[in-house]
Amino acid sequence: MSELNPYAKYLDGRPIEAILASTPVRLAALLAALGPQKAAASPAPGKWSPAEILAHLADCELAFGFRLRQTLAEDNHVVQPFDQDKWAAPYPAIPADQALAAFTAFRDWNRLLLAAALPEAANRPVSHPERGAMTFLTIVETMAGHDLNHLAQLEKIAAPAAG
């Protein structure tokens, strides 16, 4: 795993495919545990609500899918970074269940691509303007680590609701 991947630390040796497959199910369970009111409420000033985290995950899944496809289609592709805070502007108006549905659909579609592309494409080179040289697999590892990071945030928010 790349030192240039800030999300690799969340993987902790867990199988990437299992993380990618289980995230939509875990998100649905957390959303059910939270309920609509808690899902829409920010846990602290300046922090995203669970619904906004779900919208962020949907946006990121779309971006990851585009990056994966560009990496397969173009030699030595350079990915385009994005400003997540600017992308987050419409999140307060997006219902959590719709964000989860979008995430789940994008994830299912990306998993089909990964099943067809891996392991052959794992070492296909790609670069990030801020993180440098990466591979197709680095993007996949980032997806899984990003999932685990945000799942931990949502589990922390949901814990008082469950208890």
Q: Which residue has the tokens 């296909």?
A: 124
| CATH of region 50-162, choose from 3.40.50.10320, 1.20.120.450, 2.70.150.10, 3.90.550.10 | 1.20.120.450
pLDDT tens, residue by residue, 9-38? 888 889 999 999 999 999 999 999 999 999
pLDDT tens, residue by residue, 27-85? 999 999 999 999 999 999 999 999 999 999 999 999 999 999 999 999 999 999 999 99
Residue 119 preceded by cis peptide, ω within 30: yes
Residue 142 pLDDT level (bands cut at 50, 70, 90): very high
Name the pTM for this structure.
0.93
Half-sphere exposure of 123 (CA within 13 A, CB side): 1
CB contact at 8 A, 108 and 101: no
CB contact at 8 A, 154 and 12: no
Residue 1 pLDDT level (bands cut at 50, 70, 90): very low
The overall average pLDDT reported for the chain is 93
Residue-level pLDDT at 2: 44
Handedness of CA 138, 140, 141, 147 (dihedral sign): positive
Handedness of CA 131, 141, 109, 149 (dihedral sign): negative
- Domain chopping of the chain, boundaries: 50-162
